[in-house]
A and B are shown apart, each in its own frame.
Chain A
C-alpha cells in the first residue's frame, strides 16, 4: 500500500504526496522537536525534510522501508542546524517585538502545567548536553520507539555503537536529572 503511494509520488502524483506528508509529518516533527528543542525551528526542519525527501524520491529504492530513510534525512537536517547555530537563544519565547514574554498556557490546571513545563525543560536541558548524534539516538529510541536495527538504518552506526552511545547518553542524562532533582 505504502509502496504504491511511493511509486505514485515518484511520478509526481499530488494525492500520493499529500498522503505521505500527512502520514509522516508528525513523526518527523517529533524527532526535529526533540533534537532542536524549538517548535518554530522544528517546523522549518520538518518541512525542509519532507521537501528534500519527496523531491528526491527518484533516488529512493521503494523496496526499502521509507520511515528510516525519512528520519535519516530529518536527523541529518537537525544535526546540520545544531552545528550552524551561533546563538542558542530560543525564538519561541520571544514576543512579536523581540522581548521575552510570559506565555499563558491553555491548561485548566496551572500547577500541573507548571510541573509539565518544568519536566519538559529538565529533559530538554539534559538533551542539550548531548552531542547531536547522541540526541538523535535517544530521540529515536525513546520517542519513536524504533528498534536497534532501524536506528542503525537511520544513523548509519553499528548496533553495538548505538547501544554504547545510548548507554553513555542515558548516564549523562541521569547525572543531570539527579542533580536537578537534588536542588528541588
Chain B
C-alpha cells in the first residue's frame, strides 16, 4: 500500500482497536465472573457500568410499597398517625399516562434497594434493625448514635460493610419519611417508622381466580427519631406533589 494510504489504514486500525477494547471491557463487565472483573468494573464505572437483567432471569412478581407512620405531640402527648403509602401516592401518576413521570419509581426503587440490604443482614441483625433506633437521653429521647450501633451490629455478624450499607439507606428513608410525614400531616413530626409491604398478584394459572393466591408480605421497622431540620422549600415541593397525586389508595 502506498504511503498516501497509510493515514486511512492507521485511522481504521485505531477505530477497530477502540471497538475491540470496548467489546473486551463490556464482556468482562457483563459476564458473571472472571479474575479481571473487579479491576475492569472499577476502571469502567460508573460511565460504562451496565446490567441487562432487569426482567430476568426471575421476573419481578410483586408490587412493593413503602408505607410510613408518624408520631407528633399534641398537648405533650405523643399521637400516632395512620399508615400512609408513599409509593401508592407516587404511583397515582401512572394510570392513564402513556409516559408516566419518573416519580413512579422513586420510593418503589428505594424500598426495593432497602430490602436488598435488609436481607443481606443476619437473622440476629435483622431483629435489631426491626426494633426502634431511639434511646433515652437527658430526660428525653434521641436517635441511637451511629458508631455504637454499627459496632453492635457488626459484632453480631462480622459484616461491617453490609451493616453500614443498610444503616445508610435506613438514614435516607428516615429523612424522606420525615419530610413526607411533615407535609402530609402538617405537624412537627417527632418519630417516623415504615413498613415494606409486598403484594403478589396471582400466578398465571390462577389469573382468573377472584381469591388472592398469596398473603401480603409485610416487614415493619421500628421507630426512628426525626431530628432533621425541616426545609420550608422542600416541604413546599412535597405539598405540591401531594396536592397533585392525592391520597394513597
Chain A complexes with chain B: no
By a beta-carbon cutoff of 8 Å, the part of chain B in contact with chain A is: none
By a beta-carbon cutoff of 8 Å, the part of chain A in contact with chain B is: none
